[in-house]
Amino acid sequence: MKYLFITIISILILNSCSSDDELNALGSTSFTQLPSVTIGSQIWQSTNLDVTTYRDGTPIPQVSDPVEWAKLTTGAWCYYNNSTTNGTTYGKLYNWYAVAGIHNSESLNNPSLRKILAPKGWHIPTHGEWTKLTDFLGGENVAGGKMKSVEITLWQSPNLRSTITSGFNGDPGGYRGSDGLFNSIGYGGFWWSSTETNNTYKDPGAYTRSLVYSLSSVTVYPYYKSYGCSVRCLRD
């Protein structure tokens, strides 16, 4: 009877873990279900990542203060303008250190000590995997219109050539700059890749993809790792 009671309690606890913030904790032992869409041979998350822990349950700090954010060399997340309402619509913004799983000073210089941001069964797409997506959608010059959402209340007008034919459902969640200030909500969405770049203008940096209200293209650009951008996961 004692063991039956423990089993029932365990089931109730597992069933209560359904929020987005607990996806990684659940995903540490089994494949994690995320809203997704198949585009060509790839399966993409169709909403922005919205977790507060790495895959093994290690917390990712929420950092609201702009001065503190600008000094970070370890992983952190925030809501745009530190607003939970924006978080509900757009998910969280992560710096690249969180994307790379850099959770403390030791893991900054030792990749073997890093955590994994993506839930079980998923990973952060590389620069090449993003290119594979846009190539399938006709190339960078036209793929943006197929990747943007058609939600007119979110996008600044005109939301040029937004057709959402791919199902990617990209929204204009903006970004957080390396100075800790927020920018471009309603005007553009910005997503990390896992690939670093040695570009001299944005060094050290990593490649991003962005969708902009006034363009039908996808922009490829290296951002400083201290920027806060959205994250989409790709199925392993």
Cβ distance 217 to 103 under 8 Å? no
161 band by pLDDT with thresholds 50, 70 and 90 = low
pTM of the predicted model as reported, rounded to 2 decimal places: 0.86
pLDDT digits (tens, 9 = 90+) for 190-229: 999 999 997 655 557 999 999 999 999 999 999 999 999 9
Instruction: Please give the share of the chain, as a percent, with pLDDT higher than 70.
Output: 83
pLDDT digits (tens, 9 = 90+) for 39-60: 999 999 999 999 999 999 999 9
b/e sequence 81-96, b meaning 16+ C-beta within 10 Å: eeeeebbebbbbbbbb
In angstroms, the CA 199 to CA 204 distance is: 8
Instruction: Please give the share of the chain, as a percent, with pLDDT higher than 90.
Output: 76
Closest to 172 in 3D by CA, of 97, 230, 110: 230
Domain locations along the chain: 18-235
Looking at the predicted structure, is the pLDDT value of residue 23 above 80? Answer: no
Cross-strand partners of 206: 196, 223
pLDDT digits (tens, 9 = 90+) for 222-233: 999 999 999 999
